[in-house]
């Protein structure tokens, strides 16, 4: 999604977010979105002020990409040099900014590599829809000007799981040894409106797969639960909400909890404000010893993981072992109501050749 790097960027970020029907379906969206964005701006500006004056997500995403590409140049010299480009959905650099930079550099081969490990139509799907829209609109990126392939999900990637498990083990060391095995590991992921979940979106299942893989890596050393955060608006969202789950555990006497942000690859407002300030304050009132596993940020385990993931993808693609997309990306949700999804998936399946394939056939 990205995040505003400075306070003046907050309103535009919120406006883009609330205008995106893929993420937050609203009735009369074009009318309501500006109103909601304007109303929420002062509150969200204060939150970003409280975490240092802006989101660090661009800093971390750039660092991860640059370090990944250094490793890729060693792992895959035949496709070197490799360069990372950042395309955020709601904050600068936007997808159009990314494509402009790629065009200036003369890029003709690219991997659309989602930094959401677990796929949702509302997140990765929305970003891919935007990529398709802009490529069709401007021409660059379409009809073979770029050969695309896609890494659209990686919820149980071995390196990702190892990076999460390492950070959980480190966080658990903050508890006395005699209490450590009883600490509740609470995995927290960004929630989704139930209307998106119920149409067959795979996100909740893939988040659960990541959680199970991490606990397997930890030999199921502790009790654990998966909870959900960042609900917006009055509609029903996937639950239980992280804050209410902590309150529930307090009532049954579970006073040692380790929070693990399991669907984010770096720190941003959902970790630094929502978890570290809001949830932490509530936990203290309830007498809970709440810790949080560090986000992946500059974790060398994580950076090696994404380098290996892209390295294997490049080799398999060049060898003809895989196509531009995986089979799972091509399957639309059984309750899908968005015609954009089908067109985007068809285009990506051709590697961005689109109409050029039809013209040649």
Which residues share a beta bridge with 186?
225, 259
Catalytic residue among 48, 75, 90, 131: 90
23 catalytically annotated: yes
Whether residue 1 lies in the annotated active site:
yes
73's enclosing H/E stretch is helix 57-75
Active-site annotation holds for 270: yes
Give whole-number Cα distances, 136 to 16, 89, 140, 144, in Å.
20, 17, 8, 12
Known active-site residue 90: yes
Residue 26's pLDDT is 83
Q: Model confidence over 13-34: pLDDT tens digits?
A: 999 999 988 888 888 899 999 9
21 as an active site residue: the answer is no
40 is annotated as an active-site residue:
no
Which is catalytic among the residues 16, 82, 89, 268? 89
Residue 88, strand partner residues: 94
Whether the CB-CB separation of 76 and 273 falls below 8 Å is answered with no
356 vs 361: CA distance, rounded Å: 9
Three-state DSSP state, 107: coil
Q: What is the pTM of this model?
A: 0.94
Q: Which of 9, 11, 17, 132 does the annotation list as catalytic?
A: 17
Reply yes or no on whether 274 is catalytic: yes
Which of 237, 286, 296 lies closest to 257 in space, CA to CA?
Answer: 286
158-172 and 300-318 helices, crossing angle to 10°: 170
Q: Is 195 an active-site residue?
A: no
Query: Which of 162, 224, 270, 273 does the annotation list as catalytic?
Result: 270
Yes or no: say if 312 and 85 are a contact pair by the CB < 8 Å rule: no
CB neighbour list of residue 273: distance below 8 Å, 6 or more residues apart: 47, 48, 50, 51
Spatial distance between the Cα atoms of 197 and 335, rounded to a whole number of angstroms: 10
- What pLDDT is attached to residue 324? 98
72-128 pLDDT, tens digit per residue, is 999 999 999 999 999 999 999 999 999 999 999 999 999 999 999 999 999 999 999
- Strand-pair category, 289-292 with 147-151: unpaired
CA dihedral 252, 218, 205, 331 (to 10 degrees): 170
Phi-psi region of 320 (alpha: psi -120 to 50; beta: other; left: phi over 0): left
- Catalytic annotation on 256? no
Residues 155-213: tens digit of each pLDDT: 999 999 999 999 999 999 999 999 999 999 999 999 999 999 999 999 999 999 999 99
Computed on alpha carbons and rounded to an integer, the radius of gyration of the chain in Å comes to: 21
Residues 212-227: pLDDT tens digits?
Answer: 999 999 999 999 999 9
Q: Which positions ≥6 away from 264 have C-beta within 8 Å?
A: 190, 270, 271, 295, 296
């Amino acid at each position: 999604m990205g995040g505003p790097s400075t306070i003046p960027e907050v309103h535009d970020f919120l406006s883009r977010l609330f205008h995106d029907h893929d993420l937050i379906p609203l009735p009369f969206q074009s009318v309501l979105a500006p109103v909601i964005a304007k109303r929420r701006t002062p509150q969200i500006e204060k939150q970003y002020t409280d975490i240092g004056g802006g989101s660090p997500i661009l800093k971390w995403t750039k660092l991860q990409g640059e370090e990944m590409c250094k490793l890729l140049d060693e792992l895959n010299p035949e496709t070197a040099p490799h360069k990372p480009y950042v395309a955020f959905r709601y904050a600068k650099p936007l997808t159009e900014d990314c494509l402009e930079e790629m065009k200036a550099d003369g890029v003709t081969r690219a991997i659309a590599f989602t930094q959401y490990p677990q796929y949702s139509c509302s997140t990765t799907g929305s970003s891919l829809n935007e990529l398709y829209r802009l490529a069709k609109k401007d021409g660059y990126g379409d009809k073979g000007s770029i050969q695309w392939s896609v890494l659209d999900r990686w919820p149980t990637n071995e390196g990702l799981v190892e990076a999460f498990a390492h950070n959980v083990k480190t966080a658990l060391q903050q508890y006395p040894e005699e209490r450590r095995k009883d600490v509740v590991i609470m995995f927290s992921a960004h929630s989704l409106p139930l209307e998106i979940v119920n149409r067959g979106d795979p996100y909740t299942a893939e988040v659960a797969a990541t959680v199970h893989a991490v606990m397997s890596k930890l030999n199921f050393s502790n009790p654990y639960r998966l909870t959900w955060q960042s609900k917006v608006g009055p509609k029903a969202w996937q639950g239980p909400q992280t804050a209410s789950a902590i309150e529930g555990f307090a009532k049954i006497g579970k006073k040692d909890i380790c929070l693990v942000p399991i669907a984010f690859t770096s720190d941003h407002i959902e970790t630094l404000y929502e978890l570290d300030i809001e949830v932490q304050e509530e936990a203290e009132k309830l007498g809970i010893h709440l810790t949080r596993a560090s986000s992946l940020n500059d974790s060398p385990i994580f950076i090696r993981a994404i380098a290996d993931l892209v390295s294997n993808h490049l080799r398999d693609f060049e060898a003809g072992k895989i196509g531009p997309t995986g089979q799972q990306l091509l399957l639309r949700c059984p309750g899908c109501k968005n015609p954009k999804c089908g067109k985007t998936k068809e285009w990506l399946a051709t590697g961005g050749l689109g109409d050029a394939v039809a013209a040649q056939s």
